[in-house]
Chains A and B, each alone.
Chain A
Amino acid sequence: MWLLGVVVKFGGPAAALDEDTVSRLARGDHDALAELYDRHARLMYSLALRIVGRQADAEDVLQEVFSQAWRQAARYDASRGSVGGWLVTLTRSRALDRLRRARSEPQAAPDEMIAADIPDEAPAADRQLVTEQQASQVRAALDALPDGQRIPLELAYYEGLSQSAIANRLNVPLGTIKTRMRQALLRLREALAGEVR
């Protein structure tokens, strides 16, 4: 698991500070919540806004996630990921929930058309925030992707659509979508790894 060693480097002092803050959060320290908010709310809000598209919904998502973090701080397990990764994962999950509720009304979409959240049972020790530089590299790689690869990936990640749903929406064969998405993810992984090689 060479990656684990790499990930440890991603953590650093900020991650340690976050873990201490969450420990205080678990003891009901309100100042800890304010600190956590000040460190992560901007990214969480931006992600929520990218997904739900409406400022008011994004605000609600942000409030929901911090409320959940406040209630569940004692259950946070540092071995499963950084605090930042945890908060971002919760944010995406809540935002997609809201998006799906809005989208599926009045008729619920079938299960096979909806992508699941980021898995909780995955080896979450790798769920760390990347550095600013890595994020820039991934952003550049994403922008450089052909539309045929970028758009399906964005639909999957920011709209929570399954590959079948993406194929339907783009009117492209499912096999093509699978291939393009895998190619896109490989490109992004390469861009990310470029920093740590």
Chain B
Amino acid sequence: MTSQPESHDVLRERAALHAIGALTAPEREAFESHLKVCADCAAEVAAFLPVGIALAQVVPLHDPPPSVRERVLADARGQPASPRVTRAFVPWLATAAMFLLTVGLGFYVGQLRDRVRSLEVRLRDALVRLDDGERRVAVALRAAAAAEAPLAVLTAPDLQRIDLAGQPPAPRASARAFWSRSRGLVLTGSNLPPLPAGRVYQLWFVTAQAPISAGLLKPDEAGRLSAVLDTPADLPTPVALAVTLEPEGGRPAPTGDQYLVGLTQ
């Protein structure tokens, strides 16, 4: 079905709208084709064109900001327009800024995550080293304390020397103890028989009430003894020191043979 050509009257009514730019693109195209062959409509358009311009001139007048003139002239000089952030660009800029911020934050978060992981690893290493260091310090302190202990004992004002003599199971053995009630006991010995398996030497403070264990002793391969021991708490005045052979771990009271015995002063 072919559309009917529009009447001249209909087309002529469009002249005024055409003059003020108020036709749609299809209407305008059809009308301009007609204009080429219709002097009457061309005259009608010409009659209304000043109205179109006048409508542009009746708007309230405002001066543009001076910066626009600068931008226009700078633009013509081929120079980069002065940087500007206008409200018109705010949404675009905001979107771009948010995008960049998101990308940047994502990157930053990634970096932070890596950094945290790295720090965690370093922290674990540091803690391990700290534990190791603390252990080393503890060992050193103990060693220092151990080294200092004999000196402390030997310099004690209440120091007593107790010589222990070998008994029948070990007639060649001998030992010497330096004892301070306040600071402990230093014992050295020699020629102790090697310990049988499952056995250990045990030192006793022999008191009027009962023998009280002072600690366990293990001679070296040459049969030498060296030990620093604390004074048992609430120790009654000892009358002698004795070393017996006891089962591994020691006993609350002597059960084995006496190997060394020495009287206190």
- Residues of the A chain whose Cβ atoms lie less than 8 Å from the Cβ of B89: 56
Give the contacting residue for B22; candidates A41, A129, A181; CB below 8 A. A181
Give the contacting residue for B59; candidates A34, A47, A60; CB below 8 A. A47
- Known pairs A37-B69, A92-B56; A59 contacts B64 (CB<8 A): yes
Contact (Cβ within 8 A) B87 A54:
yes
- Residues of the A chain whose Cβ atoms lie less than 8 Å from the Cβ of B51: 138, 185, 188-189, 192
- Known pairs A43-B61, A60-B88, A185-B48; A114 contacts B21 (CB<8 A): no
- Residues of the A chain whose Cβ atoms lie less than 8 Å from the Cβ of B25: 111, 114, 116
Q: How many residues of A contact B (CB 8 A)?
A: 75
Q: Which of A105-133 contact B (CB under 8 A)?
A: 111-119, 121-124, 126-130
Is B76 positioned at the interface, with any CB of A under 8 Å from its CB? yes
Is B5 positioned at the interface, with any CB of A under 8 Å from its CB? no
- Known pairs A123-B49, A156-B17; A66 contacts B55 (CB<8 A): no
Expressed in whole angstroms, the Cα–Cα distance for A112 and B28 within the complex equals 11
In the assembled complex, the CB of A56 is this many whole angstroms from the nearest CB of chain B, namely 4
Q: How many residues of B contact A (CB 8 A)?
A: 53
Interface string of B8-35 (1 = CB under 8 A from A): 0000010011111111111110001001
- Residues of the A chain whose Cβ atoms lie less than 8 Å from the Cβ of B18: 119, 122
Contact (Cβ within 8 A) B65 A46:
no
Which residue of B has the minimal Cβ distance to A124?
Answer: B49
Contact (Cβ within 8 A) B86 A60:
yes
- Residues of the A chain whose Cβ atoms lie less than 8 Å from the Cβ of B73: 30, 33-34, 37
Contact (Cβ within 8 A) A59 B13:
no
- Known pairs A55-B87, A116-B25, A126-B49; A46 contacts B55 (CB<8 A): no
Is B220 positioned at the interface, with any CB of A under 8 Å from its CB? no
Interface string of B25-63 (1 = CB under 8 A from A): 111100010010000001101111111111111111111
Q: Which of B62-119 contact A (CB under 8 A)?
A: 62-65, 67-69, 71-73, 75-77, 81, 86-89
Give the contacting residue for A41; candidates B13, B17, B27, B69; CB below 8 A. B69
Expressed in whole angstroms, the Cα–Cα distance for A188 and B23 within the complex equals 18
Contact (Cβ within 8 A) A59 B22:
no
Is A24 positioned at the interface, with any CB of B under 8 Å from its CB? no
Contact (Cβ within 8 A) B61 A111:
no
Is A169 positioned at the interface, with any CB of B under 8 Å from its CB? no
- Residues of the A chain whose Cβ atoms lie less than 8 Å from the Cβ of B48: 185, 189
Give the contacting residue for A130; candidates B13, B26, B54, B71; CB below 8 A. B54
Contact (Cβ within 8 A) B57 A178:
no
Contact (Cβ within 8 A) A115 B23:
yes
Contact (Cβ within 8 A) A178 B68:
no
Q: Which of A1-47 contact B (CB under 8 A)?
A: 1, 3-4, 7, 10, 30, 33-34, 37-38, 41-43, 45-47
Q: List 10 A-B contacts (CB under 8 A).
A: A33-B72, A58-B64, A63-B75, A67-B76, A115-B23, A122-B45, A138-B54, A139-B58, A162-B27, A185-B16
Q: A123-B45, A129-B57 are in contact. List 12 more A-B contacts (CB 8 A).
A: A30-B73, A30-B76, A33-B76, A47-B57, A85-B53, A88-B53, A114-B25, A115-B22, A126-B46, A134-B50, A178-B13, A186-B16
